[in-house]
Structure 1
Amino acid sequence: MSAEPEKPKLDCREVLEEVYLYLDEECSDRRRGVIRDHLEECSPCLSEYGIEQEVRTIVHRCCSQEKAPDDVKSRLRQKLSAIEQVSEIFSEVAERDR
């Protein structure tokens, strides 16, 4: 039986930098789990997340009729995926250096 690798711990700065990726579900399931775990344990970040969620709800309500072309969405997803991969590599390196 193989043990699941331990999830990395994020500091508050990292979580708040990635909260929009989390809100937009634009990060991997593993990364979402790490961010969700931090938010569940950290009340200051959870409060900040609550504010971010409210802003997101308002923007969605006001702009939900706007649609980006499919090619723009595709390019954006590719760039966000590349950024997420680099971020995960940096996080892994930082974890090893600790």
Structure 2
Amino acid sequence: MTSPESEKPELDCREVLEEVYLYIDDECSEVRRSVIRAHLDECSPCLAEYGIEQEVRTIVHRCCSKEQAPQEVKERLRRKLSAIEQVGEVFTEVAERER
């Protein structure tokens, strides 16, 4: 007998296809990956769609992996990421003071 905590949630096809990019990019939890993998193993239409998505990713990577962003774009991104990090630190400090 399995406990509710150990049961894996079932996903419908719509949910799987919405999350296939997270799965392909390895950007979801191991539990979520195993749930999606189990669905793909059992659902031919979703597996075919996943195959198409994976192929598109491979082609894009092959065609664009040598592309370099202009230095101006890199610097702008660095500045924005730094600003986001600073704002996050301020929010963390405020939250810690309020405890």
Which residue number corresponds to residue 53 of structure 2? 52
Which residue number corresponds to residue 97 of structure 2? none
Once residues 18 and 67 of structure 1 are traced to their aligned partners in structure 2, the CA distance between those partners, rounded to angstroms, is 28
Once residues 41 and 29 of structure 2 are traced to their aligned partners in structure 1, the CA distance between those partners, rounded to angstroms, is 18
Rg (Cα) greater in structure:
2
User: Scaled by the length of structure 1, what TM-score is found?
Assistant: 0.63
Once residues 29 and 67 of structure 1 are traced to their aligned partners in structure 2, the CA distance between those partners, rounded to angstroms, is 32
- The answer for unaligned runs of 5 or more in structure 2 is 85-99
Once residues 20 and 60 of structure 2 are traced to their aligned partners in structure 1, the CA distance between those partners, rounded to angstroms, is 15
- The answer for unaligned runs of 5 or more in structure 1 is 76-98
- Percent of residue pairs identical: 74
Report the count of equivalent residues.
72
Q: How has the CA–CA distance of structure 1 residues 30 and 13 changed in structure 2, closer, same or farther, with 3 Å as cutoff? A: same
- How large is the RMSD of aligned CA atoms in angstroms? 2.6
User: Scaled by the length of structure 2, what TM-score is found?
Assistant: 0.63
Once residues 7 and 64 of structure 2 are traced to their aligned partners in structure 1, the CA distance between those partners, rounded to angstroms, is 39
Which residue number corresponds to residue 30 of structure 1? 31
Once residues 68 and 21 of structure 2 are traced to their aligned partners in structure 1, the CA distance between those partners, rounded to angstroms, is 19
What residue identity is the alignment partner of 1:26? E
After superposition, give the CA deviation of every residue in 1:27-53 in whole Å (9 maximum; x if it has no partner).
001100000000000000001011001
Select the structure with the greater relative contact order (CA < 8 A; seq sep ≥ 6).
1
Once residues 51 and 19 of structure 2 are traced to their aligned partners in structure 1, the CA distance between those partners, rounded to angstroms, is 14
